Amino acid sequence: MLASPLEHVEAEILRKATKGLGTTEEWIYPVVMARSNAEIALLKKTFQEKYGEDLVKVLSGELSGDLKKVILTAMRGEVVDFNASIHTSAKAAADADALYKAGEGRMGTDETTFINILVLSPAEHVRNINSAYVAKYKTDVAGAITAEFSGDARRALLFLVRSVLEPVELLAELFETTLKSAGKNAYGLSAWVVRYYRLLVRIRIVYLRLYGQELRTRIQSVVSGEYCQLLLSVFDAAEVEFGAFASGSGSASGAVVSSSSTVVSGSSGAVGGAAIGASASVEEKTSVSSSGGLSSAEALALCDDDDVPAEPPQKSERYLWIT
């Protein structure tokens, strides 16, 4: 898995989450939420090609309730492109009012209206809606979500909103949540290390601030043996590759921009930040000697992955949350 293109990794995460007895919902929404239309289309296509099944039908059959509504809305891949002449401050205020009327301003919740506004709006507009909501109702959109939804639906919508407002803090918490259940969720830990490879250095900085411990040390305290060495070798490769970009605090306040970037080790020079939805393949030639762990080539030798492509993927649209 560590050498696969991002879309293959994500398809595999969703396959593992929906296959067998029960469904691992906490693996689904971090993959599906806060994605561009192009990413959703690519994810559907890759899942169909790898497993011969329609991803939307699989998710529809496995999920229920409000979480099903949230995920299937995201899977439509119909996020509106940001247009400054349309997504004005007046529209943000109107959508904030619509959210309030669909939730805190009525008995019960109009889930469809609430979900559609948040899931189908561009990230810049979600940020502006939040500002308008705070200004008028003295609480933020996350507070409204917490009041109106529960369980995994709440967590999915919070993941979406926080991916816009505080993405690296969100991911630091995702790692901690996964580490707490690593005994039964080791696959999830592997998946996040791969998917958020470009952000590992910044996640480390914020993780230390939030939990008072180095993320690398925390991983060592939870997992062991060759599996631990494999994870740490990828972690250290990210430190070598992206350490120069980690001088900031890890929070993002700038506007979201769209960028085309090749998802392959060494591509960071063309990208001025790291993408929430972007990972990088770890090439065999990369070697990490500072940690005393495995080189990436040795780590790849431990991977049980027969789906590694002969060529890296070309280009795919990514949202750059970190500026």
Tell me the per-residue pLDDT of 170-201, one tens digit each, with 9 for 90 and over.
Answer: 999 999 988 987 655 666 788 788 888 889 99
**Amino acid letter for position 284:** E
DSSP 173-241: HHHHHHHHTTTT-HHHHHHHHHHTGGGHHHHHHHHHHHHSS-HHHHHHHH--HHHHHHHHHHHHHHHHH
42-46, 186-190, 267-271 — most confident range: 42-46
The 10s digit of each residue's pLDDT in 292-308 is: 333 333 333 333 333 33
Looking at 52-66, 78-92, 188-202, which range is the least confident one?
A: 188-202
Q: For the domain 89-165, what is the CATH superfamily, name and number?
A: Annexin (1.10.220.10)
Q: What is the value of pTM for the model shown?
A: 0.75
Q: What are the CA-CA distances from residue 199 to residues 124, 228, 245 (Å)?
A: 21, 19, 10
| pLDDT tops 50 at residue 34 | yes
Helix (H) or strand (E) holding 292: none
Cα angle 248-253-254, degrees, rounded to a multiple of 5: 95
**Torsions phi, psi of 217, nearest 5?**
-65, -40
The 10s digit of each residue's pLDDT in 135-158 is: 999 999 999 999 999 999 999 999
Domain boundaries for CATH 1.10.220.10 within the chain: 6-75+166-320, 89-165
| Angstrom distance (rounded) from CA 38 to CA 307 | 22
Q: What are the CA-CA distances from residue 38 to residues 77, 221, 308 (Å)?
A: 7, 38, 22
Closest-CA residue to 75 (of 47, 104, 105): 47
Rounded mean pLDDT, 120-125: 97
**Angle 215-222/225-242 helices, nearest 10 degrees?**
170
CATH number belonging to domain 6-75+166-320: 1.10.220.10
